[in-house]
Amino acid sequence: MRFFRILYHWLVPHEGNNHRAKALHHDALFAYVLLLCVFNLGIRYFHGKAPDVLGYAIDIRVEQLLAATNAQREAAGLPPLKLDNTLSAAAAAKASDMFAHNYWAHNSPLGKTPWDFIISSGYQYTLAGENLAKNFQTSDGVVSAWMNSPTHKANIVKSGYKDVGFAIVNGVLNGEETTLVVQMFGATNAAPVAQIPKAQAAAPAPVASPEVALEEPITVVPAEPAAINDEPKSEPAIALLPSFMSNTAFERVVASPKVNIPGLTNTMAIIVVGVLIGLLAVDAFVVSKHRVVRLTGHNMAHILFLGTIIVSGLMISRGSLI
């Protein structure tokens, strides 16, 4: 009985709680702020201590990326791209360079362009392009995000490309745990025009602007595509990789922590906002029914605001593209 009295006091406005549910008083609202801060900091702390227990569930694999990319090309009426080992080696070298020099851009702070990595890998391109993605959780999520970006989509459905290479790497970029996906496109027998992908043109270029890159002389090598594609010419790029990584290390990133952070935070946010909206709705109903005049905020406005925040917040994705 006492339990129900306490519950009534906390959840329903009446004379005893100054006609405002106790759970909506200032001290209670302040306690929610503090508890959410503790929850937020706790996740950061435990993720740092035990990422295998509390971490990000990731399942990104080259074969899935290739299948999803080719499915999009097929839907656009284009022939599929062939997975090319030299382009994959170039992508792996690019990913390693990004972690080594701590940058998130198409061109490195030292002025290296994507084309430098492709040439170093031994792929003699006549047309090339690059898509980058970080912090997505699934292969389909990566390709969907690329397809939702007009500039990245233009690369995926460009008819001139024949080959594609991928690298998927986990590491620390700008102090943040990052899963990087590098997708490099190429053609060796296309028209001898170097084309800078729009995806790169839209990206911040610390050293060389896309216009500068356009002026770069491109050596056109009339090579047989089969000779280029079928021979794994990965030696030059592997030489650029850190010693602890092998080429196969770039083919997939799979992580299955016991607790997935996005799932946990989404659930927590939905519960908190759901409870608050419920409390505000009950409060508004009871006060309106009893025609109580009091000095408080506008319950319906709070409900609309919190509803907007949760809908917007659930749209947040760690994944980003350039």
Partner 1 sequence: MKNGAFLHTIVLFTILFGGAFTFWFARGNTALQLAIGVVTTIAYVAWGIIHHSLKGDLHRKVVIEYVLVGLIAIVLLTTLAL
What are the residues binding partner 1 (CB under 8 A)? 26, 29-30, 32-33, 36-37, 39-40, 43-44, 145, 149, 261-262, 265-266, 268-269, 272-273, 276, 295-298, 301-302, 304-306, 308-321
Report how far residue 167's alpha carbon sits from residue 263's, in angstroms, rounded to the nearest whole number: 26
In whole angstroms, what separates CA 60 from the centre of its chain?
Answer: 12
Residue type (1 letter), 162? K
Q: How many CB atoms lie within 10 A of CB 256?
A: 11
In whole angstroms, what separates CA 105 from the centre of its chain?
Answer: 15
Which tokens is 196 given? 């800078």
In the complex with partner 1, the residue whose CB is nearer, 31 or 193, is: 31
Of 220, 214, 218, residue with least CA distance to 189? 220
In the complex with partner 1, the residue whose CB is nearer, 8 or 39, is: 39
In the complex with partner 1, the residue whose CB is nearer, 174 or 243, is: 174
Min dist. Cβ of residue 269 to partner 1 (A): 5
Min dist. Cβ of residue 185 to partner 1 (A): 21
Min dist. Cβ of residue 181 to partner 1 (A): 14
Contact 318, 260 (CB under 8 A): no
In the complex with partner 1, the residue whose CB is nearer, 208 or 259, is: 259
| E-state strands within the chain | 54-55, 58-61, 82-83, 127-134, 163-173, 176-187, 252-255, 259-260, 320-321
CA-angle at 113, arms to 110 and 117, nearest 5°: 105
What string of DSSP letters covers 82-98?
Answer: EE-HHHHHHHHHHHHHH
In the complex with partner 1, the residue whose CB is nearer, 221 or 271, is: 271
Min dist. Cβ of residue 308 to partner 1 (A): 4
Of 133, 224, 233, 222, residue with least CA distance to 184? 133
In the complex with partner 1, the residue whose CB is nearer, 189 or 266, is: 266
Min dist. Cβ of residue 16 to partner 1 (A): 18
Calculate the alpha carbon distances from 99 to 155, 157, 173, 243 in Å.
24, 28, 6, 14
Min dist. Cβ of residue 24 to partner 1 (A): 8
In the complex with partner 1, the residue whose CB is nearer, 53 or 221, is: 53
In the complex with partner 1, the residue whose CB is nearer, 102 or 148, is: 148
Min dist. Cβ of residue 301 to partner 1 (A): 6
Min dist. Cβ of residue 22 to partner 1 (A): 14
Residue partners of 79: CB distance under 8 A and separation at least 6: 73
What string of DSSP letters covers 95-127?
Answer: HHHHHHHT--SSS-TT---HHHHHHHHT---SE
